[in-house]
Structure 1
Amino acid sequence: MIGRVGNAFEHAAAWLLGLLWVAPLLYAIWAAVHPQGYSVRFDLFAPLTLENFAAAWDAAPFARYFLNTFVLVTMVLVAQFVLCTLAAFAFARSEFRGSGLLFGLVLLQLMIMPDVLLVENYRSMRALGLVDTILAIGLPYMASAFGIFLLRQTFKQIPRELEEAARVEGCGTMAILLRVYVPLAKPTYLAYGLTSVSYHWNNFLWPLVITNTVETRPLTVGLSVFASTDQGIDWAIISAATLMTSAPLLLGFLMFQRQFVQSFMRAGIR
């Protein structure tokens, strides 16, 4: 009896959390496909329209924003994959003095909020002459402590016998990494890749601080133009712009949600 009550409570809590998560999305969809007057009231017979999407697209250079965001997330993800793979392999399989201390310092970074480093990161980018560039947005994130930790845990679970067999076949260290460890860690790469893309696609504060022009702004910063109009806030157009911005992530998650969940389950986070 107690078990059934517990299961019922868990299901009710899950449904409640699901409704809380989906409610803003449902409102955005409703406001985006109806005229402005229906964005604050519900009418079953309200007329449908796609004019809000056209108005939002014309109000800001979304094509440029999408290009900047795509370049940003791709650049950061490639750099993270390379750097995190090398660091994780060293921590997982190489024995050297001070490795435990260095890995502890890497984990210490997980306790530091990125917003705390805004001022110092800005000073660094200004010293390098990179202010108002896409590279400046992504450079502070190209080495990820979370990515190193995730891949290290995965690499440590791979049997050493596979590495020894590869060495017998004449493989060097880099060949072993690329032919043994990386293929077996594909679920972890998928899980981390989706997480990284989602974070940098939605990141707002740092791009807002480091960019000044349309040529370098990503989608999240571009959305801020809709909240700074003199005519007041048009929730219908804002909702349409928000849906256009988040649509790639929503579609990607819906397409790969099973692989995403399974990847984290297999990643060996214990």
Structure 2
Amino acid sequence: MGWRGTRWLEITGAWLLGILWVLPLLYAAWTAFHPAAYATRFDPFAPLTLHNLELAWNAAPFARYLVNTVLLVTLVLVAQFVLCTPAAFAFARLNFPGRDTLFAIVLLQLMIMPDVLLVGNYRTLAQLGLVDSILAIALPYLGSAFGIFLLRQTFRTVPQELDDAARLEGCSLLGRLWRVYVPLAKPTYIAYGLVSVSYHWNNFLWPLVITNSVGTRPLTVGLSVFASTDQGIDWSIITAATLMTSAPLLVAFLLFQRQFVQSFMRAGIR
């Protein structure tokens, strides 16, 4: 198979994957904006309605769940940026005994599924009296080996000449990090931010275990009430709620998809 055949095969595969990915989204949009009678049949003349979105919003304290989710992902993201940035800089530019060994130990976290630590994390937070709180959901994720790895790879691509020039200008270590490295790593911060926000926006098991009340539940746990009604499953309301939940992530990815792709390409350079 020549170059052109391989290229067409790649394009065809990309289109097939794209269609498989977008079909559920199209079904959710169709069902959410049409009456329940059209949830299982297609009619191009079906009337549009916002009634399902209104029902989904009022069927549960959706606004409270949304606020909790925004607080959660913001807390986790800010903490990860603050903690991962100096760690990645140290692994990328500083020479100290045991650096590579310590970095390998940090990367071991990538091999451990969070669900394996579920019981241990719950017992620890229960002893601290933090159960059923936003902080309890966020605390096990404030440090990220993936974030350290991604930023380290990006910092290593920064020319050493820029670091030396900033040092000659009298810039301190933290000053060089803030003025040289962080600005050049903005695409990586955006890409990692999308990954982190997407994961914690959609995380279900740990918030389900650690929260007990409406006041602390995120959207994923709150959505489970839509599937537990006495009248059976109302797909129109479920898809409307799902659409409202996933819309912010879709918009964010569409806005920053270029930075998302570029940052992961740069991470593989060195």
TM-score, structure 1 as length reference: 0.96
Are residues 1:209 and 2:189 paired?
Answer: no
Q: Which runs of 5+ in 2 are unaligned?
A: none
Distance in 1, matches of 2:95 and 2:172, equals 17
Are residues 1:11 and 2:3 paired?
Answer: no
Aligned residue for 1:118, secondary structure, equals helix
Moved more, 43-52 or 200-209: 43-52
Distance in 2, matches of 1:159 and 1:257, equals 25
Q: Once the 2 structures are TM-superposed, how far is the Cα of residue 241 of structure 1 from its aligned partner?
A: 0.4
Distance in 2, matches of 1:207 and 1:171, equals 43
Are residues 1:85 and 2:100 paired?
Answer: no
Counterpart AA for 1:65:
Y
In 2 relative to 1, CA 269–142 (structure 1 residues): closer, same or farther, beyond 3 Å? farther
Structure 2 partner of 1:183: 183
Structure 2 partner of 1:142: 142
Q: Tell me, yes or no, if the aligned pair for 1:187 and 1:266 is still in contact at 8 Å.
A: no
Are residues 1:167 and 2:161 paired?
Answer: no
Structure 2 partner of 1:55: 55
Structure 2 partner of 1:66: 66
Counterpart AA for 1:160:
Q
Q: Tell me the matched-pair count.
A: 270
Q: Tell me, yes or no, if the aligned pair for 2:190 and 2:256 is still in contact at 8 Å.
A: no
Q: Tell me, yes or no, if the aligned pair for 1:187 and 1:263 is still in contact at 8 Å.
A: yes
Q: In angstroms, what is the RMSD of aligned CA positions?
A: 1.3
Distance in 1, matches of 2:171 and 2:25, equals 51
Structure 2 partner of 1:103: 103
State, as a whole percentage, how many aligned pairs show the same letter: 74
Distance in 2, matches of 1:235 and 1:113, equals 32
How far does the alpha carbon of each residue in 1:35-79 deviate from its partner, in whole angstroms, 9 at most, with x for none?
112111222222221100000001011111111111111110010
Distance in 2, matches of 1:179 and 1:267, equals 20
Q: Once the 2 structures are TM-superposed, how far is the Cα of residue 22 of structure 1 from its aligned partner?
A: 0.4
Moved more, 256-265 or 42-51: 256-265
Distance in 1, matches of 2:184 and 2:144, equals 20
Distance in 1, matches of 2:68 and 2:120, equals 24
Moved more, 258-267 or 15-24: 258-267
TM-score, structure 2 as length reference: 0.96
Q: Which runs of 5+ in 1 are unaligned?
A: none
Aligned residue for 1:215, secondary structure, equals helix
Q: Once the 2 structures are TM-superposed, how far is the Cα of residue 157 of structure 1 from its aligned partner?
A: 1.7
Counterpart AA for 1:186:
K
Structure 1 partner of 2:195: 195
Distance in 1, matches of 2:47 and 2:167, equals 68
Q: Once the 2 structures are TM-superposed, how far is the Cα of residue 268 of structure 1 from its aligned partner?
A: 4.2
Counterpart AA for 1:107:
L
Q: Once the 2 structures are TM-superposed, how far is the Cα of residue 98 of structure 1 from its aligned partner?
A: 1.4
How far does the alpha carbon of each residue in 1:156-196 deviate from its partner, in whole angstroms, 9 at most, with x for none?
12122222222222221111111111111111111111111
Are residues 1:46 and 2:52 paired?
Answer: no
Distance in 1, matches of 2:148 and 2:269, equals 12
In 2 relative to 1, CA 269–214 (structure 1 residues): closer, same or farther, beyond 3 Å? farther
Distance in 2, matches of 1:268 and 1:174, equals 26
Q: Tell me, yes or no, if the aligned pair for 2:188 and 2:259 is still in contact at 8 Å.
A: no
Q: Once the 2 structures are TM-superposed, how far is the Cα of residue 113 of structure 1 from its aligned partner?
A: 1.0
Distance in 1, matches of 2:183 and 2:33, equals 44
How far does the alpha carbon of each residue in 1:167-226 deviate from its partner, in whole angstroms, 9 at most, with x for none?
222221111111111111111111111111111111111111111111111111110000
Distance in 2, matches of 1:238 and 1:70, equals 21
Q: Tell me, yes or no, if the aligned pair for 1:66 and 1:219 is still in contact at 8 Å.
A: yes
Structure 2 partner of 1:225: 225
Are residues 1:115 and 2:115 paired?
Answer: yes
Moved more, 176-185 or 254-263: 254-263
Runs of 4+ in 1 over 6 A off after TM superposition: none
Distance in 2, matches of 1:161 and 1:12, equals 44
